[in-house]
Amino acid sequence: MKKALLMLTLTVGLFSCSTKSTEKQTETNTTTGEVKDHVELVYFHGKQRCITCRAIEKYSKEVVDSLNATGIPAEELTFRVVDINENEALADSYEVTSSSLFLVKYANGAENRDNLTEFGFSNAKSKPDAFKQGLTEKLETALK
């Protein structure tokens, strides 16, 4: 009886938990079905994150928010946080299994991915100003 009650409690608990995703879907042209031209910074993370992983997310968001505040529309430059456990298909398509940072440019129906993970891990925690400046330059170049 105790075993059945435990199983019932676990089942109800699993189904009652909701997962909230901070992912933003890529906008598509409703007429043609193509992805609209824009630049997206995508940060992937797993369940456990180290200090450097958190710094990459924090400073990446700050840079994108700062660029949006200077007049770059949010439709042209977005920041997307993806939990790889909640969106395995997307993580698989990027071939990531842990914290990763990608700059993705959508232009003329094509998608160009630039893996910035090494840059992020080399700079975000130890040299945050260099990380923010370098990321700003990379995003501004991609927006041209």
Query: What pLDDT, in 10s, does the model give residues 13-49?
Result: 333 332 333 334 444 444 445 568 999 999 999 998 9
The whole-number average pLDDT for the span 112-121 is 96
pLDDT score of 10: 37
Q: What are the pLDDT digits (tens) for 45-100?
A: 999 899 999 999 999 999 999 999 999 899 999 999 999 999 999 999 999 989 99
Q: Which two tokens stand for residue 114?
A: 């630039």
How far is 44 from 58, CA to CA, in rounded Å?
13
Cα 132 to its chain centre, rounded Å, is 16
pLDDT number for residue 36: 86
CATH numbers and ranges of domains, the chain: 36-143 (3.40.30.10)
Residue 113 confidence class, pLDDT cut points 50, 70, 90: very high
Alpha helices per DSSP H over the chain: 2-16, 51-69, 88-94, 117-123, 128-143
Structure tokens at 79: 């920041």
pTM: 0.74
